[in-house]
C-alpha cells in the first residue's frame, strides 16, 4: 500500500481509502471482516459520513485494540433522526451527533473533522462565519479533531472554503465525467443524463483551479465518487457512453493535484479487494488515457491529463510534472515559492527540451507539449 501526505496536516493516508457504505446494514462480524482486511492490506483511511448508529457501534467494536492504526474522517453536522440520515446546522443536533459519533466509535478523537456537505457559497459563508465553524475550531484546539475538513460537490463552495483559511482537507467528487461539468448547487446535476447529451470539451476550469489551489496551499483532498456511484464502470450507465475499469477510475482520481486518498464505496469484501488490487495492477491496466481519448461523448483535446504517455523524454524531463507545476503558476498568475522549489528539485528542467517532438507524438490528447516546455522555461528560468 502506498501512503500519501494529506496536505500539510502531518497525517499519512493510504491512497486507497474506505467509505462507510460497506459497513451499513452489516453484522458486527461482517464489519470486523472488513476491518481485518483493511488492516492486513494497509488501508488506513475511513470516511464516516453516515450517522447510522448500528454502523458506528459495529465499527467501534471492530476497531478495539487497533484504533491507532486508522485515520478516521468523521463528519460534523450529520445526525440520525427518525431512522434516517439528516444533515443539520442546528447546533444542539450538531453537538449531540458528534458526541454520539465519538461514543459509539469508542474513541476520544478523530483525525479529520469534516464539516458535512456544503454545496453553495452562501451556505459556506454562513458555516464559516457562524457557530458550526466555531465548534469545529474548538474541537481542533482541544485535540478532539486533528484537522478540519469540508465536503462538497461544488468547486465554487470548495474554493471559498480553501481560501477561508480554516480548512485543512477537502472531500470532493472527482472522476473524468464530473470534472467536465460547470459548478452547480444541485448535486444531482452531476449525473443528470441531459448534461451529457452533447459533446463535452475539456475539464471545467473551476474544478482544475480548485485542485491546483489545494496543491499550492497544502490542503489535502480525499476523493469521493471516483466511480460515479458505479455508473462509470457500466457502459450503459456511464455518462461518457463507455465504461472504465476500477483501476482507471482510481488512477484518474489519484493523479489530480492534491489528491491523497480515494474512498472506495465498497459494499462487499470483493468490492474492497478490487480497489486494493490497484496497488498491484500493471501500468497498462491503470492507464486511463486511451479510454478517455476514445470516449464518444467527451473530448479532452489539448488538455494535459498528467497520464504520463509523454514519457520517456530523451533528456529525462518529467514532462507531466513540469506541466502540472506550470499549470499551478498559470492558475495563480504568479510563481508561488513552494512551486518554484518543487521545480528546482527536478533533476531535469524544461529548458533542457530539445524540441524532438516525441512526447507530442505519444500524447493521446494532442497537447502542445513543446509550447508548454518553452513557457515553463520562461516562467521558472
Q: Is 223 helix (H, G, I), strand (E, B) or coil?
A: strand
Spatial distance between the Cα atoms of 85 and 274, rounded to a whole number of angstroms: 28
pLDDT at 288 over 80: yes
Residues 272 and 29: their CA atoms lie apart, in Å, by: 16
| Spacing of C-alpha 357 from chain mean position | 33
Q: Supply the pLDDT for residue 335.
A: 87
Q: How many Cα neighbours within 13 Å face the side chain of 45?
A: 27
Position of cell 489539448? 302
Tell me the pLDDT tens digit for each residue of 182-197.
Answer: 888 888 888 787 887 7
Q: What is the mean pLDDT of residues 255-259?
A: 94
148 - beta bridge partners? 113
Domain with residues 3-293, CATH architecture: Alpha-Beta Barrel (3.20)
pLDDT value for 23: 92
Q: What is the pLDDT of residue 237?
A: 84
Residue 101 pLDDT grade (very low, low, confident, very high; cuts 50, 70, 90): very high
**To the nearest whole percent, how much of the chain has pLDDT over 70?**
99
Sole residue written with cell 480515494: 262
First to last CA, the chain: 37
- Buried residues in 252-274 as b, exposed as e (16+ CB within 10 A): bbbbbbbbbbbbbbbbeeebbeb
| Percent of the chain residues topping a pLDDT of 90 | 69
Q: Is 148:116 a contact under the CB 8 Å cutoff?
A: no
DSSP-derived secondary structure for 104-126:
HHT-S-EEEEEE----SHHHHHH
31-49 tens-digit pLDDT: 999 999 999 999 999 999 9
Angle at 20 between CA 253 and CA 245, to 5 degrees: 35
- Mean pLDDT over residues 314-322, rounded? 92
Phi, psi (deg, nearest 5) at residue 24 = -75, 135
State which of 58-67, 85-94, 295-304 shows the largest mean pLDDT: 58-67
pLDDT, residue 195, reads 80
**Sequence ranges of the domains in the chain:** 3-293, 319-380
C-alpha cell at 154: 461544488
Instruction: Answer whether 178's CB lies under 8 Å from 190's CB.
Output: yes
Residue 210: the pLDDT is 95
Per-residue pLDDT at 305:
80
Model confidence at 227: pLDDT above 90? yes
Decide: 320 and 307 in contact? Cβ < 8 Å: yes
Amino acid at each position: 500500500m502506498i501512503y500519501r501526505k494529506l496536505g500539510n496536516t502531518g497525517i499519512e493516508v493510504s491512497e486507497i481509502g474506505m467509505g462507510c457504505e460497506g459497513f451499513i446494514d452489516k453484522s458486527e462480524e461482517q464489519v470486523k471482516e472488513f476491518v481485518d482486511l483493511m488492516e492486513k492490506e494497509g488501508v488506513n483511511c475511513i470516511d464516516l459520513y453516515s450517522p447510522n448508529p448500528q454502523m458506528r457501534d459495529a465499527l467501534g467494536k471492530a476497531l478495539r485494540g487497533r484504533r491507532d492504526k486508522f485515520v478516521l474522517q468523521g463528519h460534523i453536522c450529520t445526525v440520525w433522526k427518525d431512522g434516517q440520515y439528516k444533515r443539520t446546522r442546528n447546533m444542539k443536533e450538531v453537538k449531540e451527533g458528534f458526541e454520539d459519533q465519538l461514543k459509539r466509535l469508542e474513541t476520544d478523537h478523530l483525525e479529520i473533522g469534516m464539516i458535512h456537505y456544503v454545496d453553495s457559497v452562501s451556505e459556506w459563508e454562513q458555516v464559516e462565519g457562524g457557530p458550526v465553524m466555531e465548534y469545529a475550531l474548538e474541537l481542533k484546539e482541544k485535540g478532539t479533531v486533528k484537522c478540519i475538513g469540508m465536503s462538497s460537490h461544488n468547486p465554487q463552495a470548495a474554493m471559498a472554503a480553501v481560501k477561508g483559511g480554516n480548512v485543512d482537507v477537502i472531500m470532493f467528487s472527482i472522476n473524468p465525467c464530473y470534472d467536465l461539468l460547470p459548478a452547480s448547487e444541485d448535486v444531482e446535476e452531476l449525473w443528470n443524463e441531459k448534461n451529457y447529451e452533447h459533446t463535452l470539451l475539456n475539464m471545467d476550469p473551476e474544478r482544475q483551479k480548485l485542485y491546483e489551489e489545494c496543491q499550492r496551499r497544502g490542503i489535502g483532498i480525499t476523493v469521493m465518487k471516483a466511480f460515479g456511484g458505479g455508473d462509470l464502470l457500466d457502459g450503459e450507465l456511464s455518462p461518457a457512453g463507455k465504461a472504465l475499469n476500477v483501476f482507471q477510475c482510481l488512477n484518474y482520481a489519484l493523479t489530480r493535484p492534491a489528491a491523497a486518498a480515494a474512498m472506495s464505496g465498497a459494499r462487499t469484501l470483493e468490492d474492497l479487494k478490487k480497489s486494493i488490487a490497484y496497488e498491484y495492477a500493471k501500468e497498462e491496466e491503470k492507464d486511463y488515457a486511451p479510454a478517455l481519448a476514445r470516449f464518444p461523448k467527451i473530448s479532452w483535446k489539448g488538455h494535459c491529463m498528467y497520464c504520463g504517455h509523454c514519457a520517456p523524454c530523451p533528456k529525462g524531463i518529467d514532462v507531466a510534472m513540469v506541466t502540472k507545476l506550470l499549470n499551478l503558476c498559470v492558475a495563480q498568475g504568479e510563481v508561488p515559492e513552494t512551486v518554484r522549489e518543487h521545480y528546482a528539485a527536478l533533476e531535469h528542467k524544461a529548458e533542457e527540451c530539445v524540441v524532438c517532438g516525441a512526447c507530442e507524438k505519444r500524447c493521446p490528447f494532442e497537447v502542445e507539449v513543446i509550447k508548454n516546455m518553452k513557457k515553463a522555461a520562461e516562467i521558472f528560468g
